[in-house]
Chain A
Amino acid sequence: MRYLIAFAFPLILWGLPTELLGLEGMTITQHRMLAIFALAVLCWVLEPIPIFATSVLLIFLELLLVSSKSLIWLRDSTAPEQLGVLLPYQALLQTFASPIIMLFLGGFFLAIAATKYRLDRNLARVLLRPFGEDPRFVMLGMMLITAVFSMFMSNTATTALMLAILTPVLKLFHPDDPGRDGFVLSIPLAANIGGVGTPIGTPPNAVAMKYLTGENAISFSEWMAFGIPFALLLLVAAWGLLIVFCRPRERQMNLVIEGTFQKSWRAWVVYLVFGATILLWLTGSFHGLNSYIVAMLPVSVFLTTRILTKEDLKLLSWDVLWLISGGIALGYGLEQTGLSKTIIAQVPFSEFPALVIIIAASLVALLMSTFISNTATANLILPLMAALAASEPALQALGGERMLVLVVTFSCSFAMALPVSTPPNAMAFATGLLPSQALLKIGALVSVLGLGCAYLLGWTLRQVGFY
């Protein structure tokens, strides 16, 4: 049934005569793009096929139906003005290796090497020490470390690491101690929150980067300059909530993380490259290399030194990369054919106050990503947001595309009320230590807090003249 709906509806939509859709000035390519967009929505929401497969299918369909090398019968039979814009096929294929994808690839290389040489586990061990043995502060420490790691590693891998460290200790807690729920909950919440700290923290950020180009461009260091304080603020708020609702009764806990820093030359190279990459990302304006080029540093150094081998390449999450590629291609298609403008023009947004538009958009993003993949949500919503911001003078006054894209992107990351909302949630839930009511209650609270913080950030950046 899911298959039928997901594939039949877009087909029917494609089959309808363009005039019948009632959208003024709609070209044939826009019409085809609309059918592709409908397929994207249905496939990402109903998930009849894996979400990254949907991405690849979208790129293929765009190549087939609306590209400059599409099927010959689909482009030669009509007058050019009716047909509309055909997308250069190279641009569509390039989405597989767009600079944003390379940025993520660099992030993956850092994460895989750090894990292979146990840098992450050892860092966690050292960083956790100053937090002592009071469970409340250990929790804060765990959350800070989780958040910082998830800025550079995948949120899911970070959650796996931190939960693995945590679970043996939690067994020592009394089964009725609310602190147990609190601890298990703290990790996925912190991982979700930490993801917003850097452009590579979580895939929705990558999708957002696509719309933050040209005059709206945000550099890696600029993103971190607001992303990290923002994540910290929310993190401390979430910790406060956990302490109030799940106060640990245990007075003392001792997290033992075994291990020592490896000292082989390869391990040193990993440490140095890790540090250097982050440093270079932060100082882009000084040396002139942009973050995409810097991302190639770990890739090339780790491969030439054989720190990562052919076997390690298989550990790369190609599905995540392709999921992002599909989103970029979808956004490109919507924008270049002019469909996103046509759709936005159908709703009289100018009749609403800009603030209402922002709140509505972020709520839609939050709700959607509570149930479906955050990245898929960003893939679907952000192209429309970019077109909306460009066309609404009222939004321009509040910060335009930059503001709207950032607020909505963060909203996508803050869906954390259900086990299905994010993989870190699913993972914590699968340990069997987490009652779903606790997740629902505190996760929803943190979601709402996150939205509030996102508005605050949007407003603050405006005040400091960021846009």
Chain B
Amino acid sequence: MPHYVVLIVNRNPDEQSRIAVALEPFEVSFRMIRVANSEEAEREVYAFSETEERLALVICDEALPQESGTSFLVRLHQDARTRATHKILIMHEPDAEVLIQAINHGGLDHCLVPPWNEEQLAETVKQELTDFILDHEPDKLAYASVLDQERILGHMHEGGLTSWDHHD
């Protein structure tokens, strides 16, 4: 069972399916949760935070039904359980003020604005998940085949080997 979860918050079914295409390569190692609004998202997050699973990444749309994506990210960032979670925001038009708010108070890691394609998103997700795994997962090698291999191997070479449980 995957230990890590990726949460996608987006009310637009078309965009959800585009995101799903981009995330397909990661489904072997990460559990995907897709929801349409922040309320549902929050319910999911608190449901599995009681278990061993951790939220590795959230991909959130700025335009959500009840509140903005940014204010949801800010709440996630204030919660100790999801502070380390990497956060990607999808905006429909660049808005500096919103962006500043998301970066300063929501711990935003990456922002996508149109036109973005599936490949771009896949690469962004790969890098964010690699960052997360390098920081939090002892058995990094298990993720080498899906995430950024070069960075994971490089990290292991440069001293991440202490947690490496095997011997010559």
Binding stretch for chain B, among A14-22, A30-38, A423-431: A423-431
Nearest-neighbor residue (CB-CB) of B157 within chain A: A160
Given contacts A112-B159, A115-B159, A430-B144, contact A374 B168 (CB under 8 A): yes
CB distance from A186 to the nearest CB of B (A): 15
Binding stretch for chain B, among A161-169, A329-337, A457-465: A161-169
> A346-359 CB contact bits vs B (8 Å, 1 = yes)?
00000000000000
Cross-chain contact A315 with B145 (CB below 8 angstroms): no
Cross-chain contact B164 with A423 (CB below 8 angstroms): yes
Given contacts A315-B162, A430-B144, contact A164 B168 (CB under 8 A): no
Cross-chain contact B162 with A317 (CB below 8 angstroms): yes
Query: Which of B141, B145, B149, B168 is the one whose CB lies under 8 Å from A154?
Result: B168
Given contacts A315-B159, A427-B141, contact A160 B168 (CB under 8 A): no
Report the Cα distance A337→B90, complex, angstroms.
Answer: 71
Report the Cα distance A106→B148, complex, angstroms.
Answer: 32
B93 lies within 8 A of chain A by Cβ: no
Nearest-neighbor residue (CB-CB) of B166 within chain A: A423
Cross-chain contact B154 with A164 (CB below 8 angstroms): yes
Cross-chain contact B161 with A160 (CB below 8 angstroms): yes
Q: Count contacts on B: residues with CB < 8 A to the other chain.
A: 21
Q: Please report whether the interface of chain A is mostly helix, strand, loop or mixed according to DSSP.
A: helix
Report the Cα distance A422→B168, complex, angstroms.
Answer: 6
CB distance from B146 to the nearest CB of A (A): 8
Query: Which of A204, A317, A373 is the one whose CB lies under 8 Å from B161?
Result: A317
Q: Count contacts on A: residues with CB < 8 A to the other chain.
A: 42
A86 lies within 8 A of chain B by Cβ: no
A447 lies within 8 A of chain B by Cβ: no
Given contacts A160-B161, A161-B153, A164-B153, contact A430 B145 (CB under 8 A): yes
> B32-45 CB contact bits vs A (8 Å, 1 = yes)?
00000000000000
Given contacts A157-B157, A157-B161, contact A319 B167 (CB under 8 A): yes
A residues near B91, Cβ cutoff 8 Å: none
The A-B contact count (CB < 8 A) is 88
Cross-chain contact B145 with A115 (CB below 8 angstroms): no
Interface residues of B in 106-165 (CB under 8 A from A): 141-142, 144-146, 149-151, 153-154, 156-159, 161-162, 164-165
Report the Cα distance A373→B166, complex, angstroms.
Answer: 8
Cross-chain contact B153 with A203 (CB below 8 angstroms): no
A219 lies within 8 A of chain B by Cβ: no
Given contacts A430-B142, A431-B145, contact A51 B157 (CB under 8 A): no
A202 lies within 8 A of chain B by Cβ: yes
Report the Cα distance A374→B141, complex, angstroms.
Answer: 20
A432 lies within 8 A of chain B by Cβ: yes
Cross-chain contact A156 with B166 (CB below 8 angstroms): yes
Report the Cα distance A323→B154, complex, angstroms.
Answer: 25
Cross-chain contact A161 with B157 (CB below 8 angstroms): yes
Cross-chain contact A160 with B162 (CB below 8 angstroms): no
A residues near B149, Cβ cutoff 8 Å: 163-164, 167, 431
Cross-chain contact B168 with A156 (CB below 8 angstroms): yes
Cross-chain contact A195 with B153 (CB below 8 angstroms): no
CB distance from A96 to the nearest CB of B (A): 17
Interface residues of A in 106-159 (CB under 8 A from B): 112, 115-116, 154-157
Interface residues of B in 66-108 (CB under 8 A from A): none
Report the Cα distance A431→B152, complex, angstroms.
Answer: 10
A287 lies within 8 A of chain B by Cβ: no
CB distance from A459 to the nearest CB of B (A): 26
CB distance from A361 to the nearest CB of B (A): 20
A residues near B166, Cβ cutoff 8 Å: 156, 373, 423, 426
Report the Cα distance A322→B141, complex, angstroms.
Answer: 23
Cross-chain contact A156 with B161 (CB below 8 angstroms): yes
Report the Cα distance A397→B157, complex, angstroms.
Answer: 45
Cross-chain contact A203 with B145 (CB below 8 angstroms): no
Nearest-neighbor residue (CB-CB) of A373 within chain B: B167
Cross-chain contact A423 with B168 (CB below 8 angstroms): yes
> A295-337 CB contact bits vs B (8 Å, 1 = yes)?
0000000000000000010111101100100000000000000
A50 lies within 8 A of chain B by Cβ: yes
Given contacts A317-B162, A427-B141, contact A374 B156 (CB under 8 A): no
A411 lies within 8 A of chain B by Cβ: no
A370 lies within 8 A of chain B by Cβ: no
A-B contact pairs, 26 of them (CB 8 A): A51-B167, A52-B167, A154-B161, A154-B168, A160-B154, A160-B156, A160-B161, A163-B153, A164-B153, A164-B157, A167-B150, A168-B150, A203-B167, A203-B168, A314-B162, A315-B161, A316-B162, A323-B167, A374-B167, A374-B168, A375-B167, A375-B168, A376-B167, A430-B141, A431-B145, A433-B145
Q: A160-B156, A164-B151 are in contact. List 20 more A-B contacts (CB 8 A).
A: A51-B167, A116-B158, A155-B168, A156-B156, A160-B153, A163-B149, A163-B153, A164-B150, A203-B167, A204-B168, A312-B159, A373-B166, A375-B167, A413-B168, A422-B168, A423-B167, A423-B168, A424-B168, A427-B144, A432-B145
Top 10 nearest A-B pairs (CB, nearest first) are A432-B145, A164-B153, A160-B157, A423-B166, A315-B159, A161-B157, A160-B156, A202-B168, A164-B154, A430-B141
